[in-house]
Amino acid sequence: RRAKPRRSRALIGLIVVALLAGGAVAALRFWPNSLTAMGPTMSPAAVSTPSAAVPSTPTPSASAERTATATPASAEAVAAMEACQKRVRAADKVLEEARTGIAHWEAHVRAQRDAAAGKISVEDRQRIFKETRLKGPADQKRYADARRDYERVRDARCGKAEGADATVAAILSTCRERAVAQGPLMGAADATMGDWKSHLAAMQRSREIHVDDAQAIWISAYRAAPKNTNAYEKARRKFD
């Protein structure tokens, strides 16, 4: 009866030792800082990113092949554009000088009309006559110079040019539209500046030599003036 407790105690001891040994092995396998050699390891192939998930970058040569390159405008198209621009700018200068001269001519004519209507005195009329008459020769010179410059470039063709790219074609289109619009106004301006030139010449003759019908010549020019001045103002409004 005394030997049984010894054997029982020995058996319990063996069980405890076995449990402790198993716990130690489990701790080594699953503890975060345990030896990695104790557990299964992932191969490099298993942890690498799949190649299909990485976006591919095209090579410079492939990218260049896909990019369409714009064809530059030909030298002939650029020359046509520049010629048309010169023509339009020269015409603008003609119209600018005409506008100044015609303003003086209209003031000259209006002075006579206002004096006849009693709106201004005869003295005021004569003062305006003198002021505008003295400005007239310079008006005509600037206008003639601008016309001469325009004549040098007026033959430029403001049409479509072969080999024009989008930019050149757009500029040509704009210049062509303006050149067409300038035509009627330039015609009306030339006729009105012609009236002013004729009257300046008549006044100059009357100062140099005696002209019997000087007043009648002026009244005739005065009465005829509205035809061209009105046409000019109408064309100018349309052009604007």
3-state secondary structure of 117: coil
144-173, pLDDT tens digit by residue?
Answer: 999 999 999 999 988 888 888 999 999 999
Query: CB–CB of 198/183 below 8 Å?
Result: no
Residues 6+ apart with CB under 8 A from 226: 109
Single pTM value for the model: 0.68
Q: CA Rg, the chain, in Å? A: 50
Residue 156 DSSP symbol: -
Measured distance CA(216)–CA(207) in Å, rounded: 15
Which stretch of 41-45, 80-84, 111-115, 236-240 has the lowest confidence by average pLDDT? 41-45
Residue at token pair 């930019």? 167
Q: Which of the pair, 60 or 236, is modelled with greater confidence?
A: 236
Share of the chain above pLDDT 90, in %: 58
Mean pLDDT score, 10-35: 44
Query: CB–CB of 75/164 below 8 Å?
Result: no
Query: CB–CB of 220/125 below 8 Å?
Result: no
Amino acid, res. 49? T
Residue 31 DSSP symbol: S
Measured distance CA(65)–CA(115) in Å, rounded: 79
Which stretch of 12-16, 95-99, 135-139, 148-152 has the lowest confidence by average pLDDT? 12-16
Query: In the predicted model, what is the mean pLDDT of the chain?
Result: 79
Residue at token pair 């048309």? 84
Measured distance CA(158)–CA(130) in Å, rounded: 43
